[in-house]
Amino acid sequence: MEKKDHPQNVQKALLVSRYATPLAILLVVLGIIVSNPVGWARDISLFLLCFGILFNLAAGWWMKKKDQVHPAFMGFRLALNLGSNILIVYLLGGYWSPIWMLLALTPMATAIYDSRAKTLGISAGVVFILVLLQALRGMNSPLDWGQVAARGCFIVLMSLMINDLAALARKK
């Protein structure tokens, strides 16, 4: 079968899917298996995991078939994935601390195909959500807040670095 060259916006979206989706799946599966959450936390996390897998596979198939990605679709996909990730981080965060990395995926993905301003805005929004989730969990020791600060800085700085690298690659 001959490999088809897709427009650059489709290539970027597929690139994000190729790496972010398996990482998201790994984080959630490990979170469920290793931490063994109970009740609703496990059941809703499993449902969101399955839904996310199906949605992202279907989105990838659709993008390849249509050979273009409308910005409204990308916004919808971003919002749906971020919303699911927020809920999973809330549900599993008390059981599996590495689950916070799920929230880093959205701004890092945005960094690949959008502007620096949008990358910074999405990063700041995700950090705000991370702080809010920490406050809702009631984990308020200096150690807990120090970890949230480090995670927030990681999300913002890595997203901006990826955005700058993507901008450099576009110039070539």
CA separation for the pair 88, 73 (Å, rounded): 22
Q: What is the pLDDT of residues 44-98, one digit of tens each?
A: 999 999 999 999 889 888 877 876 677 788 889 889 999 999 999 999 998 999 9
Measuring CA to CA, how many Å separate 107 from each of 7, 13, 44, 73, 81?
A: 22, 13, 24, 17, 11
Model confidence at 1: pLDDT above 60: no
Cβ pair 68, 9 in contact under 8 A: yes
Span 98-136, pLDDT tens digits: 999 999 999 999 998 889 999 999 999 999 999 999 999
> For the whole prediction, is pTM greater than 0.75?
yes
Pairwise CA distance, residues 49 & 45, whole Å? 6
